[in-house]
Structure 1
């Protein structure tokens, strides 16, 4: 007795199988998307990594001057001379 699934496919079945990506690729892409979603959720929950770190600012932002020796975002390292 010959199993019907082991017969050589012909016609539309061949074209459909060529268009479908391999299961391993689908699994990899699903895992990649899941890892991205989890890492984004963890990052959003904990906020910025460094103290004083802020998102990009909107607006003109012009006209601001930084005093000599003060780097702004460097925190306690502003007194160091290079």
Structure 2
């Protein structure tokens, strides 16, 4: 009479217990696909505001921000008081 192989069944059960559930794997795959697609769409569409630059940089490439707000364009009559509550 042949003895059943207990060691291979035990190892298979341990591997199944340690493996993540298929639903979790599917969710992570879907999440990666959505992230990749949104990144590709963002790269193709370009910047939201073409003249917009990060903090501390200027459009001329000089990299110095003087903080001068003399030329405010259309915001010249805007009330600039902060935290006054009125």
Check whether TM > 0.5.
Answer: yes
Per-residue deviation, 1:80: 4.1
Q: Which has the higher contact order (CA 8 A, sep 6+)?
A: 1
Give the alignment's TM-score, normalised by structure 2: 0.60
CA spacing shift, 1:80–1:52, aligned 2, 3 Å: farther
State the aligned residue count.
68
Equivalent position of 1:53 in the other structure: 52
Q: CA RMSD in A?
A: 2.9
Q: Structure 2 regions of 5+ residues with no counterpart?
A: 1-7, 80-86
Give the alignment's TM-score, normalised by structure 1: 0.62
Per-residue deviation, 1:15: 0.6
Per-residue deviation, 1:70: 4.0
Per-residue deviation, 1:50: 2.2
